[in-house]
Structure 1
Amino acid sequence: MKLQNMPQEKIAIVAVSRDCFPMDLSVNRRKAVVAAYTEKYGEIYECPVCIENELDMKKALADVKAAGCNALVVYLGNFGPETPETLLVKEFDGPAMVIAAAEETGNNLIQGRGDAYCGVLNASYNLKLRNLKAYIPEYPVGTATDCADMIAEFRPIARAIIGLKNLKIITFGPRPQDFLACNAPIKQLYNLGVEIEENSELDLFEAFNKHENDPRIPDVIKDMEAELGAGNKKPEILKKLAQYELTLLDWIEAHKGSREFVAVAGKCWPAFQTQFGCVPCYVNSRLTGLGIPVSCEVDIYGALSEFIGSVISQDAVTLLDINNTVPSDMYEEGIKGKFDYTLQDTFMGFHCGNTCSSKLSSCEMKYQLIMARNLPEEVTQGTLEGDIIPGDITFFRLQSTSDAKIRAYIAQGEVLPVATRSFGAIGVFAISEMGRFYRHVLIEKNYPHHGAVAFGHFGKTLYEVFKYIGVPLDEIDFNQPKGMMYPSENPFK
């Protein structure tokens, strides 16, 4: 299923040329990059203007804007003019990258030498002077094929930046009592270019009641029944869930305003169940599966993280509690000797039932067992339960601290093919050196218990996105391997 609510990038490549170097060198090298990219990855817009001066910059800018491009590659086919090329990044006002041409042959190092290796240094210096951001790959100089590969790696980064600049997060209700861990200042959202609309649960409840006899409800129920199949164990609750789903979708459409993309941070307890007559977990899972992340417990930065992960992976994501340890007998029976992980490398990621069905090995509609300990079972129905599919994952989060500073973590790992023997949407996760990461990042830096999960290894792209949006490098943490100590780690342990 193609995700909705997702930005699409249209990348332009613009060649630049220092006036004391042959322009043909830069133009021909640009054409070679375009040919290599088109053959391997598809369409890219080739700007016909090669920039030597500021007037050329204005022509190139007008051209790529007229072509509808929203992401930019500044390509140094030779040394490049540092002022016009960095002014292009400034005036473009969208995600940009800088790459450069390697020399092709030792048989043409007089008229055919471009010195772009040198030019990238001046370009990066001038970007810093102007307080401009651009993505510069780990090694930004290469052949036409190399540069095509670099541009392909830029695509998800560009999508994420475009998405953040056009995102609104819609919330309902304050965080539940004793869930202060999900509470964080919203100032960093504005710094990232994200809009936020905070609403009362009462507003949502009023809208929900107005949808009671919505004529679309039967069609939504049919869609839910088809999705659940044999897992449709609570058919009596589908009408309320369909009513709630339509309420959210209509609210999103009516309230996105000037923004193209939306994520939602919703309330699910303590009064939600008794007033709405269900829990929202299954609806959250369905919207997230469509590309509209809905976080639990009004976790605003969780919703933000989910959106970023979905844009990068072009797939559904989920939000889970970093929840409980794997019992030692389960580890001995199902993990030890079969997978290269210690007991402390493993944990269970869990939420009540918000993970979309496509990411569960099998699924059943159930009731929320934890809530039902204090409430009538019938008002806690609506969770989608099952073991999360095995495979590679990236566990990550972008977060504001209590004093409104931005930080992030990224850890790559996997969901193991081990039965959880538990309830909820849940999986046995394994991340190398998780025990140390848990202590010296998650605890030490005061992260909440929610983490976003992307299905695949996307750490490299997430790291570049977090750098681009301004997360300080010493505040992007990862699960450090053995022999690489955390600042707070006791060397005598």
Structure 2
Amino acid sequence: MSGKATAAERRIGILPLARATFDVAFAEEKLAAMLAALDAAGLAVTGPRHLLFDAEATRAAMKDLGGQAITDLLVLQVTFTDAAMVAEAAQEFAQPLAIWSIPEPRLGGRLRLNAFCGLNLAAHALGLAGRDFGYLHAAPDDAGIEAALHGLLSGERMARDVDPHPAAGDDPRGVAAADAIRGARIAQIGRHPDGFPTCAYDAGRIGELAGVRVDELDLGYLFSRAGSVDAAQLADARAFASAALSGLDTVDQQQLERSLRLKPAIEALRREGSYDAFAIRCWPETFTEYGGAVCGPVSMMGEGRVPCACEADVYGALSALLLQKVADAPAFLTDLVDLEAGDDTGVVWHCGQAPVSMADPDAAPQATIHTNRKMPLLYEFPLKPGRVTFFRISQARGRTVAVIGGGEMLKRPMAFTGTSGVVRFDTPAENLLDRIMGAALEHHLALAYGDHRDALGAAAKSLGIPVLDL
């Protein structure tokens, strides 16, 4: 990356980033393995050899590195973190910047690290800032990891921008869907979390796109409306969940009630505001201030064809809405949390909010709790096998493009708790990683079953935006 320092001259400053809401013991184990791999590669490494859990610790580490003659800055993305500290480090250090994230086993349990998603957020932030960066997503015990690390730090794994192409097609489904979202109304309930530029939006730009109007509502207002839900509405919400899920009686009943109350509260807001979709700040306040997860109600609303994007992602809500109209079926706004070149697959996941019609028919959907925040209601099931389409109206690198991709959801055991599926994309996993990093895409993609790529191309053409193929 530096192009000037030889391997012997290079001095690598490291920032091992993590969050305490993930599996700290496992993260510490993985960090030790990452450091051992760097040492075995003969790289001169300086900086903290412990996890940095917050901004204060990270800034202290950056200050210390600033006083040293480092040639490169390497972010060790040990667990998920938002992009704030990577963006700050990119401004603080002029030296070449690289990020190394690590995969985790797909064992059906909790998503213990979610490091890939942290890499994705960081890449998007760096793309918006026009900052060059290198990237690596690999286990510290992979064969050839030492060579991969040398390649990362010598500039062989730089993010290369991906050129979109003009949209094409006249599929009437796409044209009709583009027409249907013109003048759409989206309610953003609460502001997107700090460090999530992936979820930011510009009212003027989204308005110009299709006359979309966004109303910004206070998160506390949603909580207040949930508190005023009557017994009959609450009973209806519970019956709706009970018809699809087993295990409702196994979770904390007071927290379950608070969670269920959010569904009729959102429905009331939809009726009053004539909203087509919602973008809701789901954490931490739904847990820390309200006391119940919105994930289950989001699944229910999605099944009812009212997309609700988490993390107040307005463009995510609009993307799900358009895809839903093209597919004439529910859409699921998901994270891509893993890519494995050896198996040529990825894992799409979200806490527990996929529409229940997407469940594998051989797996009974279960009621569960949020893996980090330990509150209900979340849905839990593996996604059913079949052809799937991915879509997002993206603002990556400061331009508006339609991201379109396809793949095959495989019949595999549940990769991680919540709602998740193992997918073989049309693009090989290794190449897909390069495209996502190069385009610096957002971490949310809308998913629907069926092959709708041609129709989405027609929708993009109607909206006057180019296409970026996954």
Whether TM exceeds 0.5 here: the answer is: yes
State the alpha-carbon separation in 1 of the partners of residues 332 and 177 from structure 2.
17
SS at match of 1:353: coil
2:226, 2:262 within 8 Å by CA — same for their partners in 1? yes
Partner of 2:381: 386
Higher RCO by CA contacts (8 Å cutoff, separation 6 or greater): 2
Matched-pair contact (CA < 8 Å) for 2:246–2:367: no
> Residue 275 and residue 214 in structure 1: after superposition, are their counterparts in 2 closer, same or farther (change >3 A)?
farther
1:165 and 2:182 are equivalent in the alignment: yes
Matched, 1:176 2:193: yes
Whichever residue aligns with residue 410 of structure 1, its letter is: I
Partner of 2:359: 360
- The separation in 2 between residues aligned to 1:464 and 1:303, in whole angstroms, is 20
Is the CA contact (8 Å cut-off) linking 1:345 and 1:432 kept in structure 2?
no
C-alpha distance in 2 between matches for 1:136 and 1:301: 23
Give deviations 1:363-414, integer Å, cap 9, x for gaps.
111111123xxxxx3xx211111111111001121122464x3112111111
Deviation at 1:229, TM superposition (A): 4.0
- How many residues matched? 299
AA of the residue aligned to 1:245 = K
- Alpha-carbon offset, residue 277 of structure 1: 1.3
Q: Report the counterpart of residue 280 of structure 1 in structure 2.
A: 294
Quote the Cα distance in structure 1 between the aligned partners of 2:224 and 2:302.
23
Query: Within 1, Cα distance between the matches of 2:403 and 2:455?
Result: 13
Q: Structure 1 residues 477 and 436 mapped into 2: Cα distance closer, same or farther (>3 Å)?
A: farther
Question: Do the aligned residues in 2 keep the contact of 1:232 with 1:364 (CA within 8 Å)?
Answer: no
Show the counterpart of 1:397.
392
The corresponding residue for 2:465 is 471
What is the match of residue 23 of structure 1? none
The answer to whether the 8 Å contact 2:258/2:291 transfers is yes
* 1:211-360 map, 5 Å: 211=229, 213-229=230-246, 233-234=250-251, 236=253, 237-256=255-274, 262-326=276-340, 343=342, 345-360=344-359
Alpha-carbon distance in 2 for matches of 1:434, 1:179: 27
TM-score of the two chains, using structure 1 as the length reference: 0.57
Give 1:433's match in structure 2, choosing from 405, 412, 427. 427
Residue aligning to 1:86: none
Normalising by the residue count of structure 2, what TM-score does the alignment of the two structures yield? 0.60
1:366–1:381 contact (8 Å) kept in structure 2: yes
Classify the secondary structure of the residue corresponding to 1:349.
strand
- 1:231–1:271 CA distance, 2 compared to 1 (3 A): closer
* Counterpart-to-counterpart distance in 2, 1:136 and 1:315: 21
Larger Rg belongs to? 1
CA contact (8 A) 1:321 1:449 kept: yes
In structure 2, the partner of 1:34 is none
| In 2, Cα distance between equivalents of 1:179 and 1:477 | 22
- Give 1:50's aligned residue: none
Partner Cα distance (2:463, 2:299) in 1: 28
Contact 2:397 2:439 in 1 (8 A): no
Write the deviation string for residues 426-445 of structure 1: whole angstroms up to 9, x where unpaired: 01011133435534432222
C-alpha contact (below 8 Å) 1:278/1:382 kept by paired residues: yes
Show CA shifts across 1:43-62 (max 9, x none).
xxxxxxxxxxxxxxxxxxxx
RMSD: 2.2
* TM-aligned CA deviation for residue 464 of structure 1: 1.0
Aligned 8 A contact 1:224 1:238 in 2 = no
* Letter aligned with residue 353 of structure 2: N
Q: Cα offset for 1:268?
A: 1.0
SS at match of 2:243: helix
Aligned-residue offset at 1:165: 1.3
TM-superposed CA distance for 1:207, in Å, is 1.9
**Unpaired segments of 5 or more residues in structure 2?**
1-166
Match of residue 196 from structure 1 = 214
Which of residues 204, 208, 211 is equivalent to 1:187? 204
Secondary structure of 1:311 counterpart: helix
AA aligned to 2:186 is: I
Moved more, 428-437 or 262-271: 428-437
- Counterpart of 2:227 (choices 209, 215, 226) is 209
Q: Which residue in 2 is equivalent to 1:117?
A: none
Question: 2:226–2:261: 8 Å Cα contact kept in structure 1?
Answer: yes
CA displacement 1:204-257 (0-9 Å, x = unmatched): 22222222x44322222222212214676437244223311111000111112x
Which amino acid is 1:466 matched to?
Answer: A
Residue type at the aligned position of 2:389: T
Gaps of 5+ in 1: 1-133, 138-152, 327-341, 372-376, 480-493
Q: Give the residue type in structure 2 aligned to 1:478.
A: D
Native 8 Å contact 1:184 1:402 kept in 2: no
The share of aligned pairs that are identical, in percent, is 22
> Secondary structure of 2:392's match?
strand
The residue number in structure 2 matching 1:370 is 372
Matching residue's letter, 1:264: F
SS in 1 for 2:372: helix
Deviation at 1:135, TM superposition (A): 8.7
2:198·2:442 contact (CA, 8 Å) conserved in 1? Answer: yes
